[in-house]
Amino acid sequence: MNFQLDLIEDKVEFFEANDLKTLQKKIETQIEVNKAIMLGVHSVSHQMHVAENGQTYFTAVVHFKKK
């Protein structure tokens, strides 16, 4: 039996929240999860949108790479 493991080298994840604090908490939680599979943060991109009713909406894209 041939057994082979392939390691993840790149991973891009998307996050969204209604406030910045929640978005930050979601990203920090996923950073800890990805440390277990030896991935570190390579870059972060984020945006904020304000709806017509004044409600803010935050999104982020985090690129993880193998350490």
Single pTM value for the model: 0.84
Q: State the number of CA atoms in the 13 A half-sphere of 4 facing the CB.
A: 2
Angle at 45 (CA atoms; ends 39, 49), nearest 5 degrees: 140
- Higher-confidence residue: 8 or 23? 23
- Dig out the tokens for 20 from the structure: 């910045």
The reported pLDDT for the residue numbered 5 is 77
Whole-Å CA distances, 15 to 2, 23, 62: 37, 7, 8
Kindly tell me if the per-residue pLDDT of 1 is higher than 80: no
For residue 4, what pLDDT band results from cuts at 50, 70 and 90?
A: confident
- Dig out the tokens for 21 from the structure: 């604090």
Reported as a single tens digit per residue, the pLDDT across 10-60 is 999 999 999 999 999 999 999 999 999 999 999 999 999 999 999 999 999
